[in-house]
Amino acid sequence: MSSPLDNVSIRLQRESTEPLHTQIASALAEAIDSGQLAPDTRLPSIRSLAALLEVNNVTIVTAYKNLEQLGYVWSKVGSGTFVRPAPPAETTRQIYIPHNGINFASATPTPEIFPVADFQRLLNKVLDRDGGHAFGYQESQGWPPLREAMQEYLISNGIHTPVENIHIISGGQQGIDLAAKILANPGDTIFVEGPTYHGAIASFQSRGARIVAIPLEKDGPNLKELRQQLRRHKPRLFYVMPNFQNPTGYSYSTQKKQALLDLAREHQFFIVEDDYLSELSFDHTSRQPLKAMDSKDQVMYIKSFSKILMPGLRLGLTISPAPLNHGIGAAKQFSDISSSGLLQRTLDLYLREKTWHQHIQAMQKFYSARCQAALKALAEYLPQEVRFTAPGGGLHLWLKLPQGITGDELYQQCLKEDVLITPGSFFAPSGLYDQWIRLSYAAAGEDEIIKGVKIMGRILKEKNAPHTIQPLL
Ligand SMILES: Cc1ncc(COP(=O)(O)O)c(C=O)c1O
């Protein structure tokens, strides 16, 4: 009888220090990458593959689990393990946002805390000072005084960089897109954290790159998996969020940050660091960006001002490693010529006034209160089986649901009651994390948080309630 593995060679080196399950997972991953194992192929049962390779059943269970975590296969209880179909060329999933609902999906800061009065005053100051010049085309790399002000801002985050390496960009998303444009070509491999920000997945997929997700642990990427994948692939870049990661809220330990820098050097890939809110720390622990430790110039650093200031500014910065400097400049120019001159000049004055320190402190207090309210409500109203970790900052909680309901199902059920959450499957190139949801407390007030979590808790409890059998009388 033919087997899907007929043309796949799995040669085990029993004397090697590499565990047998890793060798098996590697061989199967290679066969999937090269197309020898087509999408939807059913892999041999655990028992038959264990017998074929003369290994223990547990070795095959671990190998399949490993492949599942990396997004190569999926398993269906009672039916077997299948090769996952290739991801669509572009992520098109959208989340529907009801107008009057409780919004746990948006990570957009609430307009109540935007420094509107400061910007109104400073906009007028710019117009009085610069008149029509504020509306002319600007240098692609950015308004030079703003780049200098950014250089100083970065020093307060532990980053020392020459002003020549700083580019002003129209938000963090543009930074990711520029990285994709200059570093990712069709067929290239890009590493991302698993799970990761869906906007980055879409950018890399739009370049035709193959995305490999490295499982994220509470203190950073799983280094064993990362090393394993580095034996299989030569990535162009690894896209990471070392502080208050989206969607998990996890932050890297210093050891893992250093290990990542060492691996980038050894294997010659760039790290693209998306620092979208490391300032938003609740426990006053300073969480330095990876860039602050980057003595070998391997990190393309992207800083967004959307979460810590206002998303509508559409301003951010990137620091490019020297070999990428020219490419980033050109890619930015051909993307949108330059970011708004009027807003760059206004942000420049805002940063120079130094009131941003107080603004950030106010944001920390504001979101810390919402986070505490969310944690309290989760503990009080959700079934005990729901797992989550208190983040040290940021805007997100990452919740593992009990068996019996997926994130997508919970999303649909909550939507019917005008409560919006984001299913975990949103954060993977190939629909993993279907047992998880992201709950963001950025856009919901404390009363709404309690009300929304109560509704979620009721849905989960109803789903898990044991079905009683009524006697027919
Ligand atoms: C992790 C991450 N990076 C980048 C962005 C995009 O940010 P920006 O508004 O600066 O383009 C977002 C937006 O939510 C995000 O969550």
Alpha-carbon distance of 304 to 315, in angstroms, equals: 7
Ligand 1 geometric centre to CA of 172 (Å): 5
Query: Strands, E, within 38-169: which ranges?
Result: 73-76, 80-83, 102-103, 166-169
- Which residue in this structure is represented by tokens 């199967």? 28
Per-residue model confidence (pLDDT) at position 429: 73
**Whether 374 contacts 449, CB under 8 Å:** yes
**54 Cα to the center of ligand 1, angstroms:** 49
* pLDDT average per 10 residues of sequence, the chain (473 residues): 79 85 86 82 91 92 82 79 67 60 89 93 97 94 97 95 97 97 92 96 92 95 96 95 97 96 98 95 86 97 94 96 94 94 97 90 94 97 95 95 93 94 89 90 94 96 62 43
Residue-range domains of the chain with CATH: 20-83 (1.10.10.10), 102-111+358-464 (3.90.1150.10), 135-354 (3.40.640.10)
pLDDT at 221: 98
Query: Measured from the CB, is residue 199 less than 6 Å from ligand 1?
Result: yes
Sign of CA dihedral 128, 129, 132, 136: negative
Going by the DSSP 8-state scheme, the letter that residue 281 receives in this structure is B
Residues 6+ apart with CB under 8 A from 405: 460, 463, 464
pLDDT at 468: 44
Q: How far is the CA of 57 from the centre of ligand 1 (A)?
A: 44
If one residue of 173, 177, 300, 395 were mutated to test the ligand 1 pocket, choosing by the most ligand atoms within 8 A of its CB, it would be 173
**Cβ(171) to ligand 1 under 6 A?**
yes
329 in contact with ligand 1, CB cutoff 6 A: no
Which helix (H) or strand (E) segment is 345 a member of?
Answer: helix 341-353
Whether the CB of 109 sits within 6 Å of ligand 1: no
CB neighbourhood size of 156 (10 A):
12
* pLDDT given for residue 327 in this prediction: 94
Q: Is 431 in the pocket of ligand 1 (CB under 6 A)?
A: no
For residue 176, the ligand 1 atom closest to its alpha carbon is: 4
> What are residue 398's phi and psi, to 5 degrees?
-115, 115
Q: Which helix (H) or strand (E) holds 240?
A: strand 237-240
Residue 39 CA to residue 152 CA, distance in Å, equals 51
The number of beta carbons lying within 10 Å of the beta carbon of residue 60 is 26
Which amino acid makes up residue 246? Answer: N
197 lines ligand 1 (CB under 6 A): yes
Residue 307 alpha carbon to ligand 1 centre in Å: 8
- Rg of the Cα atoms in the chain: 24
Whole-number Å distance, alpha carbon 349 to ligand 1 midpoint, is 23
The secondary structure of residue 439, as a DSSP letter, is E
Residue 132: exposure state from Cβ atoms within 10 A (0-12, 13-18, ≥19): exposed
Cα distances (angstroms) measured from residue 296 to each of 166, 272, 291, 293: 17, 14, 10, 9
Q: Is 354 left (phi over 0), alpha (psi -120 to 50) or beta?
A: left
- The pLDDT, as a whole number, for residue 341 is 97
- Cβ of residue 276 lying under 6 Å from some atom of ligand 1: yes
Residues 74 and 84: their CA atoms lie apart, in Å, by 6
Q: What is residue 93's predicted lDDT score, i.e. its pLDDT? A: 60
User: Which CA distances in Å does 341 have to 116, 148, 167, 174, 315?
Assistant: 18, 15, 14, 17, 10
